[in-house]
Structure 1
Amino acid sequence: MDLLEYQAKELFHQVGIPVLPSQPIAQLSELKHLHIRYPVVLKSQVHSGGRGRAGGIRFVQNTIDAVAAAQAIFSLPILGEYPEVILAEARYDTQEEFFLSILLDYQLQRPVLMGSAKGGIDVETLLKHTQKVVLDQGFSPFYARRLATKMGLKGRLIHGVSTILEKMYQLFIEKDLDLIEINPLAVSASGEVMALDGKITVNDTALSRHLDLLSFLTPKADRPSTVTPQGNIVTTPPQKPRWLGSKDKGGNVGIIGNGSGLTLTTWDLILNQKGKPIGAFIIEEKSSSKSLIKQLGIAIDKILNIAEVEVILINIVSSEQTSDLVAEAMKDYCQPLEVTSDNEEQLSRPTSANSAHQRKVNPNLNSNAVKWVLRLATGDLESRETSFGDLPIHCFEDLNEAVKKTVALISN
């Protein structure tokens, strides 16, 4: 799960990493009650990089300029993603910019500290000057100072940057992160350091241990269209699940997950257990509850058309409310079919996603032969298992257990 900048900075603040005064803006009217003094910078909150070059970061001097700039940013897709939130933040005078990162290297199976004395948006220069320190043993301040020294820092900067690295590692361990990054870490004329931008990737398999982080997945209201400053209406296309097929033949496990990172992690775990995924449908990670259920229905209908699929593993990490809706939808979906008077096979009762009328089911689908494994990271597991009754749905909270069950069903 990748966090947005303002969410990452909330976690930075919790461990004492210095961040500027800021205010998330979801509605233009909130700019009239901004608690930050002008001038400020408005920053589009999307997951992709390159916001500055795309026009997603703007400096404003007053409320009138801020409203116009925010309206333009809300209407600007960056790599296909429209921002739901804009971060208004105080400006900062910088003398130097550094890059700091801690990532989990899966090949080395060790955390790696990385740093560059040339931080900022020039990626080629940043990478050219990047230094790294592999943590062979448990972390100690020595590793942080070693990286600062390898970056070419001197005097007070060694202590300042080392302190930031120590706090980053604290957050890295406490929240089970795959990645924590500050770029740039700005340095003022007085030697003060400040995290101007941040990136955090949470390990999806550990989310059930960090319920506080699930608040970042709270579904947002659907925003079908936005009016640009020129009066044009930009319609956001409806979200659809993306298909990722396997290049290897002989697969028999279908995967559905919300978010690329979560889905790919599920795929890797199945491979590690000697399972054979045939492909996966990826639901948009930040979808609203309504959109998630709709995309789930589309993904299920399409994956059931693949004759080779024997087991479908659905992995959803979201709020408890959304997880309850998913469980209810799956319960309705797996109800036995009945033949109506007009010879159409239908569900005996409507699904949660379509309560106005009964959902017609394609009689050619292999839904009766498929086995279902459902992993929901939040909510009451026992009550869900009870509600499923004799339905062929195996429900889990732990992803590893869900994967083991999926592979076991294939083996049987």
Structure 2
Amino acid sequence: MYEYQAKRVLARCGVAIPQGVVVHTADEARHVALPAVLKSQVLAGGRGKAGGVQVVNDTNQLLPAYQRIMATPIKGQLPQVILAEERLPIEREFYLSILIDRANQRLELLAHAQGGVEVEALDQGSFLRRAIDGNRVASLADELAATYQLPGRQAELATLLQQLLVAAQAQDATLLEINPLVLTATGALIAADCKLVVDDAARFRHPEWPAAQAEHNFVELNRAGSVATIANGAGLAMATVDAVEAAGLKPANFLDIGGGATSQQVLAAFQRLMEFPHLQAIVINIFAGITRSDEVARAIITARQRMAGLPPLFVRLEGTNAAEARELLAAEGLVLYPHLPAAIAAVARVVQRSDHE
């Protein structure tokens, strides 16, 4: 989940989070209350060092900061929205997480007196690491108060641990991380950042979850575009968009699903594209290396079966297991084009025919 989605989960469980709003457009950005922290919403770490988190104190800085963040890729991902939050009066920063200990088949609490961007550099032996369940919350709160040097706040920490445990279990989380957990100048404990990783195998139990998000680079080019594109690798994705445009068609998007795309990522890409209202075709251009052509083919077939209103698909797959992919697609009546120009030519015929009907 994105940070803003994870924080909504925390808030529903009673955990204190900063006041904030999700900003979708430049016009919305102009109305953000200051001072504020603007945070890129991508499924990647290292946002602060990459320029994806900026503090804004002055109205004149607001729109430029928003534009910089929206234009800054972080590990190949561009944000579609940002989170604008109040600037907290930070006294201290702690680390706190609940994660699955697969080796011992249990949930584990991990805590440290130092939180923030450099937590990865801390000695692993310096962390408080304990098994956690509902029966251990009180005793763990004692240890956590000692770790954080917060005497007399055991009851408050016990409540926080119980809230996080409920959130992790209710969301089938493999990781719920608060970094940092901030102690403010007024003495409040606030989850300033949150990372929530859920077990996608449990998706059938969670219709409320947002659609699965591929770790991809997506750019909307034309909301009224008639041809969507999916490719793996930035170079191939750009070449696909250029080929669509060179054919006199209107590309709707740029979408790079990455070099190791899985069937889940391909399905997530289809879900993203279905948001465009005027699509007449989707061009899929995959060169399989780490990615397997047959896995992509199965995702394409699943998408056709599950998604009503999916426009015609024009598929070019090469590389690993391409022969098996060809057989799978042929069995479903789908053509696998030998190269991109052939696929684009077929798209042009369909779109032009539709334009004249």
Give the TM-score normalised by structure 2: 0.68
From 203, 227, 230, the counterpart of 2:199? 203
Query: In the alignment, residue 305 of structure 2 is paired with which amino acid?
Result: A
Query: In the alignment, residue 68 of structure 1 is paired with which amino acid?
Result: P
TM-aligned CA deviation for residue 134 of structure 1: 1.4
> CA separation in 2, counterparts of 1:121 and 1:221?
26
From 129, 133, 136, the counterpart of 1:132? 129
From 246, 252, 255, the counterpart of 1:239? 255
From 173, 177, 199, the counterpart of 1:177? 173
Deviations 1:14-46 (A, max 9, x none): 111001110111111102333xx3111111111
In the alignment, structure 2 segments of 5+ residues that lack a partner are: 223-234, 239-253, 334-357
TM-aligned CA deviation for residue 57 of structure 1: 1.3
From 6, 9, 12, the counterpart of 1:8? 6
Contact 2:263 2:299 in 1 (8 A): yes
Aligned match of 2:56: 60
Residues 360 and 9 of structure 1: CA distance in aligned 2, closer, same or farther (over 3 Å): closer
TM-aligned CA deviation for residue 315 of structure 1: 6.0
Deviations 1:340-386 (A, max 9, x none): xxxxxxxxxxx95537xx87999x944575599xxxxxxxxxxxxxx
Q: Which runs of 4+ in 1 moved over 6 A?
A: 218-221, 282-287, 358-362
> CA separation in 2, counterparts of 1:361 and 1:30?
41
From 158, 176, 189, the counterpart of 2:185? 189
> CA separation in 1, counterparts of 2:71 and 2:174?
31
In the alignment, structure 1 segments of 5+ residues that lack a partner are: 226-234, 245-254, 260-281, 317-322, 332-350, 373-389, 393-412
Corresponding residue SS for 1:186: strand
Corresponding residue SS for 1:181: strand
Query: In the alignment, residue 166 of structure 1 is paired with which amino acid?
Result: Q
> CA separation in 1, counterparts of 2:297 and 2:100?
26
Q: How does 1:10-409 map to 2 (within 5 A)?
A: 10-34=8-32, 37-123=33-119, 124-125=121-122, 127=124, 129-135=126-132, 139-149=135-145, 151-214=147-210, 222-224=219-221, 237=238, 238-244=254-260, 256-259=262-265, 288-289=272-273, 298=286, 303=292, 314=298, 326-327=304-305, 352-354=310-312, 365-366=323-324, 370=328
> CA separation in 1, counterparts of 2:55 and 2:185?
21
Contact 2:96 2:178 in 1 (8 A): yes
Residues 296 and 207 of structure 1: CA distance in aligned 2, closer, same or farther (over 3 Å): farther
Residues 89 and 138 of structure 1: CA distance in aligned 2, closer, same or farther (over 3 Å): closer
Residues 359 and 223 of structure 1: CA distance in aligned 2, closer, same or farther (over 3 Å): closer
Contact 1:156 1:191 in 2 (8 A): no
Query: In the alignment, residue 10 of structure 2 is paired with which amino acid?
Result: F
TM-aligned CA deviation for residue 147 of structure 1: 4.1
The count of residues paired between Structure 1 and Structure 2 equals 295
Contact 2:211 2:268 in 1 (8 A): no
Query: In the alignment, residue 122 of structure 2 is paired with which amino acid?
Result: T
Deviations 1:227-268 (A, max 9, x none): xxxxxxxx9954344455xxxxxxxxxx94224xxxxxxxxx
Residues 361 and 90 of structure 1: CA distance in aligned 2, closer, same or farther (over 3 Å): closer
TM-aligned CA deviation for residue 224 of structure 1: 3.6
Residues 99 and 212 of structure 1: CA distance in aligned 2, closer, same or farther (over 3 Å): same
